[in-house]
Amino acid sequence: MSRVMLITGASRGIGAATARLAAQQGYALCLNYHQRADAANAVLEQVRGLGVTAIAVQADVADETQVLHMFEAIDRELGRLDVLVNNAGMLEQQMRLEQMDAARWGRVLGANVIGSFLCAREAIKRMSTRHGGQGGAIVNLSSVAARLGAPGEYIDYAAAKGAIDSMTLGLAKEVASEGIRVNAVRPGVIHTDIHAAGGEPDRVERVKASVPMGRGGQAEEIAEAILWLASEQASYTSGALLDVAGGR
């Protein structure tokens, strides 16, 4: 029986690259997306073309009811869960902290932090040996922003990723004896759509001068790290914060 992986935010960018690599490795997939059904369906076609079982499920990960419905769809249509990739994430327009309002902080912390907590909770209920599961792995998408702070851009986003680091460290210890490994990947600056949401589509070109390797990363290079952490090759790795950032 195929191992089953849920990838949140699988319609574009790092999540879509992770879906394609996971399909090549034979995972059955639940591809979550928020608004871009067209993009999600394109990824769904690609992974099904590789011969794996896959479903696409719309859900805002920040919405508890929608997350519960998504996990019910996994139970019903895929029958089990082995890996959660907490990839869905977003940022908003670049600005200084004193220009931000509380509504924005609610959205940024909701999608990046609450979303990851909700999905982790539902995954643990299904994977933990404490609840009759067979173990599994959780891979969280943090960011080097958690240690760099994103001054003048989005300190709220950086702080959200700092929370993901803390969650990774604590949860790894909490469920280690229940067959679940919990790790995070901290990408550097990667060529995806996310920078356009900050108002700077070409941000990678500006920032790459500060990357020791002198270039931005590709989504596929992050997917490789995610798939390794999800795999049995990483059987003794838990609580790791893995920087994939060109040395930055």
Active site positions, annotated: 157
**Looking at beta carbons only, is 112 or 238 nearer to ligand NAP?**
112
**Looking at beta carbons only, is 4 or 211 nearer to ligand NAP?**
211
Question: d(Cα 25, Cα 84) in Å, to the nearest integer?
Answer: 16
141: helix, strand or coil: strand
CB of 91 to ligand NAP, least distance (A): 7
- The side-by-side arrangement of strands in the sheet containing 4-7 is 54-58, 28-33, 4-7, 83-86, 136-141, 180-187, 241-244
**Would you report the helix, strand and coil content of the chain in percent, each value rounded to 5?**
50, 15, 35
**Looking at beta carbons only, is 133 or 227 nearer to ligand NAP?**
227
Under the rule (CB under 6 A), what is the footprint of ligand NAP?
Answer: 8-9, 11-15, 32-36, 39, 60-62, 87-90, 111, 115, 141, 143, 187, 189-190, 192-194
Contact 198, 91 (CB under 8 A): yes
Quick one: 197 exposed, middle or buried, by C-beta within 10 A (0-12, 13-18, 19+)? middle
**Looking at beta carbons only, is 61 or 128 nearer to ligand NAP?**
61
Question: d(Cα 78, Cα 61) in Å, to the nearest integer?
Answer: 19
CB of 239 to ligand NAP, least distance (A): 19
Question: d(Cα 229, Cα 12) in Å, to the nearest integer?
Answer: 21
Question: d(Cα 119, Cα 114) in Å, to the nearest integer?
Answer: 9
CB of 192 to ligand NAP, least distance (A): 3
CB of 215 to ligand NAP, least distance (A): 12
